């Protein structure tokens, strides 16, 4: 049994596009990759502008450092820990 949405979607594309070869999973891979990158960029800019507006230009660099650090933390910690933060 498939437990999460990404593997289920990947399998659906593989089965649905199987007559065209085994590349259906790449649609999901690139879709998730583009979504992750665009989300990180847009939230980085949004937070940058909010920090600048609320606390002044001096708060932008600390915000960016925390933002990058949290990306690293989110990448190395187990998923259950990340969701509980």
Task: Give residue-wise pLDDT tens across range 46-72.
Answer: 999 999 999 999 999 999 999 999 999
User: What pLDDT is recorded for position 41?
Assistant: 96
Q: What angle do CA 59, 50, 70 make, to 5 degrees?
A: 70
Q: Are 60 and 48 in contact (CB under 8 A)?
A: yes
Cα–Cα distances in angstroms (integers) from residue 28 to residues 8, 35, 38, 59, 63, in the given order: 10, 10, 15, 37, 31
User: What pLDDT is recorded for position 62?
Assistant: 97
Rounded mean pLDDT, 63-82: 92
Q: Each residue of 30-46: pLDDT tens digit?
A: 998 999 999 999 999 99
């Amino acid at each position: 049994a498939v437990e999460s949405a990404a593997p289920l979607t990947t399998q659906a594309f593989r089965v649905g596009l199987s007559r065209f070869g085994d590349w259906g999973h790449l649609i999901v891979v690139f879709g998730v990759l583009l979504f992750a990158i665009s989300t990180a960029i847009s939230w980085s800019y949004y937070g940058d502008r909010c920090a600048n507006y609320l606390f002044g230009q001096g708060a932008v660099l600390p915000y960016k450092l925390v933002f990058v650090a949290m990306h690293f933390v989110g990448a190395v910690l187990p998923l259950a820990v990340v969701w509980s933060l």
